[in-house]
Structure 1
Amino acid sequence: MPVVIAQLARRALLARGPDALAATLGRLGPFSLGALLATLVLLFGFQGEQILAQPAIIALLAVPILFQVYLNSALAYGLNRWLGVPHAVAGPSALIGASNFFELAVATALVLFGFQSGAALATVVGVLIEVPVMLSVVKIVNASKSWYEARG
């Protein structure tokens, strides 16, 4: 339903011109960021006790995420190099290829299972692990630019 409403609103705004859509998106931007931050704060707040009480479960969730992100990003980055894709495209490609899209998983878990569910816990752990790991992938991609561009 939200997608349909958004598409109808988008069409109505575009009918008034591209500037109307851009202005509306500009006004909504701070609210959407605020809503995302509020959701994350609530989610972490509801799951904080679970995270501290179940370190073994957290490790069981975290290890495969770590492995998957590094493996998929390395594979995507290496394939981009092998195919001759520019570094500026390969870096984002490695991140997209490794992403678990936890923002979608968080939304789905909350709607289907609630804030205090195991599914919500798994998505919280996913966010906690994936964000720093993705930042490390960015660092690795940036640090390896000279290697990437030295195609021999």
Structure 2
Amino acid sequence: LAVPILIQVYFNSGLAYLLNRRFGVAHCVAAPSALIGASNFFELAVAAAIVLFGFDSGAALATVVGVLVEVPVMLSVVKIVNSTREWYERVGTTSGTSEENE
């Protein structure tokens, strides 16, 4: 259960981060969008599984495991995005304030 979540979160956040860089989006916008794009909304899944299948079901257990895996993975994505800021900005992305206001 944890391996597909890892693959999905890293792939989606990496894709969002790279596309933001490619389109010239400022890092202060790209970093949160990479996290939002990779989110699984497990909170909703936990609530739905408990309501539909009960507390003792395998579905409820699986969604709780997903939450426990997602939090450290998302924190690692934050660390990666913050540590690659210089690389991200090296391409010449605009922050929307330099040439547009002149």
Query: TM-score, normalization: structure 2?
Result: 0.88
Residues 16-36 of structure 1: CA deviation (Å, up to 9, x unaligned): xxxxxxxxxxxxxxxxxxxxx
State which structure, 1 or 2, has the greater radius of gyration over its C-alpha atoms. 1
Q: Which amino acid aligns with 2:83?
A: A
CA deviation after TM superposition for structure 1 residue 116, in Å: 1.2
| Counterparts of 1:82 and 1:133, CA distance in 2 | 24
1:102 to 2:42 alignment = yes
Matches within 5 A, 1:110-125: 110-125=50-65
What's the counterpart of residue 70 of structure 2?
Answer: 130
Say if 2:81 is the partner of 1:141: yes
Which structure exhibits the higher relative contact order, with contacts defined as CA atoms closer than 8 Å and separated by 6 or more residues?
2
Mapped partners of 1:134, 1:107: distance in 2: 20
Instruction: After TM superposition, give the deviation of residue 118 of structure 1 in Å.
Output: 1.1
In the alignment, structure 1 segments of 5+ residues that lack a partner are: 1-60
Where in structure 1 do 4 or more consecutive aligned residues deviate above 3 Å? none
- AA aligned opposite 2:44: L
Structure 1 residue 127 displacement after superposition: 0.5
Q: Which residue does the alignment assign to 1:13? A: none
**SS class of match (2:68):** helix
Question: 1:69-98: per-residue Cα shift (whole Å, max 9, x none)?
Answer: 000000000000000001011111100111
RMSD of aligned Cα (Å): 0.8
1:81 aligns with 2:34: no
Three-state SS of the structure 2 residue aligned to 1:78 is helix
Give the C-alpha shift of residue 115 in structure 1. Answer: 1.0
The gaps in structure 2 that reach 5 residues or longer are 93-102
Measure the CA separation in 1 of the matches of 2:56 and 2:81. Answer: 36
Q: How does 1:1-152 map to 2 (within 5 A)?
A: 61-151=1-91
